[in-house]
Each structure stands twice: as structure tokens, then as C-alpha cells.
Amino acid sequence: MITIQNNDGDRRVLVLDSPFALDESPDFPEYLFDVIFVTNPSVGETQTILNSINPVTSTKCCYKPIFVAKALEGKMGNYAEIIDGYADDINSMDVLTAIENIINYNTLIGLSATEDPILSSNQFFIRLTRYLISRKKTILEPRLDVSASTGYVIPIFDLFYRQGAYELSDYFVFMQSMTEKGLFRISKFVNKVYLCPDCLHSHLLYVQTCPKCGQSSIQTEEVIHHFRCANVTPEHTYNFGGQLRCPKCHKVLQHIGMDYDRPAIIYTCNICGNTFIEPQTKTLCTSCHGAFDADQLIPQDFNIYEITSEGKQSIISPNIGFTIYTEFYDNYIEFNRFLSRIRLLAEQKFSGNITGDLLVGKIWVLDAEGLTMSIRPEIIELVCQYFPNNKVSVANNISYVGSVVRNYKNVGDTEEDIINFQVMLSETIRAAGHVLKSGERICYSYMKLQGNQSTIDDFVKEMEFISPMPDDSYCPDQDNPASKPAATSSSLQDEPEIE
């Protein structure tokens, strides 16, 4: 059963007792409720409910206060990390206070409850860190967990890792990138551990092996040094009917330290008979079953991180998604820098310092109603990849690519380069198709600087606007029916389909 009830603080509480596809349901839009209350008394069922209805990954519930039944207190494992309280009465004083504190703080810091579905690891990390800020949990401390991927895990991260929210490699890059940007700070070093180079899991078996045949069926034996004749051989060669007798001079050994000693241990391989002083250490990953030499393992520091005050501001800001991409793509620049660059190039062109055409490509997405939408980070990533030699930026719901076409000798060369620029823009918007949701359309147009010094301002001004007549547009629903599963086997096409 699922209902919406007003509490004594005049907040609307979504009360439910069983799993429900809330994000997909048209009956309970995000704006109809402020708080979630799960009344199911079972640990397992409540955990199942929280897998989809939670304040981190749910588009309708993000950052909203969430409470579960009183009986579950202390029993929810890592799920406790996303629960604001345990109660049987939605009007108990504690609950009312907790709700007001969270809602007022979210309003104060400007965290809006509306978010898009999560499409990438980085989007997930932003959502999770926003949630942590909303709950004033700015210390991220790894704990040892025998069942966790990397041994040391931050419990709330691990909760979602187990649901497939992110890749481990993305996690380490994210933590490092946030620290380099000053958005996180290492408040304490915890430990350096070694991870599997293939899957980054920490659960490795260390195996000592024969350096010759690589098998681990080896045994150790002490070596005996007989002072009198200087014989040094393994202990078993001294064994004669329960006595220690030198195999070289046949004297019976008396006292260790007096007439003999045991200077070393040697290893013998039971498989190939090889004798050696030092076995080779190999590791076996219990997760991916890969076998590696010890020096191939990846050293990884685990730290306690703190979200800095600068981090809190940046993470809550809507542009954070792009900020992260700048770490990977050095052709992405802030819009103000992009604008000054375009101005500079334009002035250079009109003063004759550069020959060639100055082009700006604009890419934008329209929703089903034909309104522009904010550019998703995945699209920026694609644009950066498709135009590695051009500067890329984002503003006004538009992704920009700046390009100077130059060094041409014949008139025809320019035209060809401009056409290539357009072709790349067309390919980019098609590649972005898989990021679009039903009904959305991605468009591009390009601008070419013309005129003289006095037209630069107009050119820059025009960059802010989208054209009602794009040069090309793409809507996966309408333009690409052949890619639908129901279609018959695809006929030969000019261009390969982008998966």
C-alpha cells in the first residue's frame, strides 16, 4: 500500500510498506511528497524497497528525508547509511525535528530535489556526495570489510557499488580527481594495500612457488654445515638410522654450535626436484582468478577524506559534472575562457595575423516539447572525444566547439575543411543518440565569422542563441527505426551504426 499523508509539521509523507516502482510511476510525481516513510517490519523487504526508493539514486526521492520502522533499528547493515531515522509514528517529536532540519538545510544550500536518472559512475558520485553534504556527513572514512571488493570501503559507497552503481577504476579516479581539485582533502592516511591489476579487488592469495616450474608443491629443509670437513648439504643427507652422521666424513654429529650448525633453509620442489634458496611469490585473485607476480599488483592508498568547504559549493553547483570531465579532456575549457579565445582569434583574423575561417559549432538537446535542456556530461565527453584538437565548452544549454580552418592554399581547401567540420558535428550528434531519452532531439548548427572588426560583438552575441533551423538534427526514436529490436535484419548502409 502506498499513500501520501500530511504530518503535524504540514509536510507530505509518502508512506509505503512494499516494493514499488516509484520512479517509473506517473501517479506519484516528485512534487507531491517531501518525506518517505517505509513501514515494512522486515529487514530484507525494507532493504529491497530501499534499493530503488532511496535519497541518492532515486530521481523522485533524492535528498528527501527517509524513515523506516522502529523495529529495524540496528539491523539494517550498510543501509543504515541512507536512513534518517527509525520510527513507528510519523508525528513523533524526533521525526518532526529531523525532517525540518534536513528540508531546511537542503533549502539553505540550494539542493533541489529534481535530478535526472543516473547514466554514469561520475553522475552517481556527484549524487552521492550531494546527499552526504545534505546530511552534513563530510568525512569519508574507509572501513575494513571482509566481504567488500577492495577490503577497505566507505560503507555508503559500497552499498551502491554492490548494486552496480559504479566501476572501481572510476571510483579511484574520482577520489583522486576531487582531491587534486581541492574539493576533497586527505585528513588521514589509513593504509597502502595492493590490489589485483585486472579487477582491482583486494582478496588475493599469496602463493610461494618453485622458480623453475612455477608449482607451489614445495617443501623446506634445513642445511647442515659440518665444521670438521666443511660439508654443507640438506639435513636428510645426514640421516642414518635416526642418527645425524656426516655423509662426507662419516663422523657422528655431536652438539649444534660445537661441531656443526644449520646456516640456511633450502626449498625443494616436489614436482620437478629443483632446489632453491628463495621461492617466488605469486598472487591469485579470488575474484577474477587471475595469477600475477607480486610486483604486478597495484599499490593503492586508502585515506580518510573530508569534503572541503570549496568542495561543498562546487559539488552542489549544477556545473560540477563538467568540472570533472575537464580532468580527462584538456580541450574542455570554461566558457569565459572559450569566449575570450574566440574574441582573440576573431581580432587576429581581422588584423590579418591569421588566415582562415573561424568556426563555432553549437550542439544542443531539445526535449519532447522542443525546449532546450541542460547538456549532460556524457555529451560533453563525446564532443571532447570527437574534437580533440578544438576547444570545447558549455553554457546556455549549448555545447560549443571552436575551430579555425587555416593554412589553405586554394579556395577549395577551405570549403572542404568546413565540410569536414560539419561532418564531424553530424557524427557527434549521432554518437550521442544513446544518451538521449525518448522524444529528445539533438541538434547542431555552425557559425562562420564574417564581416570586419565591428561584427565580432554580434558574432559572440549570436553564440548564445540556438537556431530554429539547425544544420542537422537527430532523434533516435524517429530517425533510426532500423535500430529497434523488432526490425528485420538491417540492409547494407553507407555508414556503420554506432553502438
Instruction: Give me the least distance between CB of 291 and Zn ion, in Å please.
Output: 10
Q: Which residues contact 358 (CB under 8 A, 6 or more apart)?
A: 342, 345, 346, 349, 402, 403, 404, 448, 449
| 274: contact with Zn ion by CB under 5 A | yes
Does the protein bind Zn ion through residue 272 (CB under 5 A)? yes
Phi and psi torsions of 399, nearest 5°: -100, 130
Burial pattern 109-147, b for ≥16 Cβ within 10 A else e, equals eebebebeebebbbbbbbbbbbbbbbbeebebbbeeeee
For 287-409, where are the alpha helices, taking DSSP H only? 309-316, 320-328, 335-350, 377-386
Distance between start and end Cα atoms, the chain: 41
Q: Return the C-alpha cell found at 120.
A: 554514469
Q: How far is the CB of 438 from Zn ion (least distance, A)?
A: 38
- By the rule CB under 5 A, 288 interacts with Zn ion: yes
> x-or-dash pattern for Zn ion, window 290-319, by CB under 5 A?
x-----------------------------
Closest CA to 448 of 406, 407, 412, 410: 406
For residues 208 to 227, the per-residue mask of contacts with Zn ion, x marking binding by CB under 5 A and - elsewhere, is: --x-xx------------x-
For 397-409, b/e burial (b = at least 16 CB within 10 A) is ebbbbbbbbeeee
Q: Which of 287, 300, 348, 372 binds Zn ion (CB under 5 A)?
A: 287
Residue 238, C-alpha cell as written in the block: 645426514
Burial profile 338-357: b = 16 or more Cβ within 10 angstroms, e = fewer: bbeebeebbeebbeeebebb
**Which residue, 9 or 290, is less far from Zn ion as judged by CB?**
290
Cα–Cα distance measured from residue 131 to residue 58, given in angstroms and rounded to the nearest whole number? 12
Nearer to Zn ion, 74 or 299 (CB): 299
Report if residue 359 touches Zn ion, rule: CB under 5 A: no
70 binds Zn ion (CB under 5 A): no
Q: Which residue, 198 or 306, has its beta carbon nearer to Zn ion?
A: 198
**What character string, x for contact with Zn ion (CB under 5 A) and - otherwise, covers 377-416?**
----------------------------------------
Cell output for 36: 518517505
269 contributes a contact to Zn ion by CB under 5 A:
yes
Q: How far is the CB of 284 from Zn ion (least distance, A)?
A: 9
Give the residue, chosen from 253, 271, 297, 424, that forms a contact with Zn ion under the rule CB under 5 A. 271
- Chain positions 172 to 211 lying near Zn ion, rule: CB under 5 A, are 196, 198-199, 201, 210
Binding mask 224-263 for Zn ion (x = CB under 5 A): --x--x-x--------------x-xx--------------
From the CB of 223, what's the least distance to Zn ion, in Å?
14
Sheet with strand 231-234: strands edge to edge: 231-234, 218-226, 260-269, 275-276
Alpha-carbon span 475 to 441, nearest angstrom: 4
Residue 346 found at the interface with Zn ion (CB under 5 A): no
The residue among 290 and 439 lying less far from Zn ion, judged by its C-beta, is 290
CB contact at 8 A, 67 and 79: no
Output the CA torsion sign for 374, 104, 119, 304. positive
Question: How many Cβ atoms sit within 10 Å of the Cβ of residue 85?
Answer: 18
Nearer to Zn ion, 163 or 254 (CB): 254
Is 319 in a helix, a strand, or coil?
coil
Q: What are the respective helix, strand and coil percentages of the chain, to the nearest 5?
A: 35, 25, 40
Nearer residue to Zn ion within complex by CB, 84 or 158: 158
Q: Residue 22 or 285: which CB sits closer to Zn ion? A: 285
Q: How many residues bind Zn ion (CB under 5 A)?
A: 21
- 147 vs 353 by CB, closer to Zn ion: 147
Please say which residue, 226 or 430, places its beta carbon nearer to Zn ion. 226
Give me the least distance between CB of 200 and Zn ion, in Å please: 7
By beta-carbon proximity to Zn ion, the closer residue of 214 and 356 is 214
Residues found near Zn ion in the complex (CB under 5 A): 196, 198-199, 201, 210, 212-213, 226, 229, 231, 246, 248-249, 269, 271-272, 274, 285, 287-288, 290
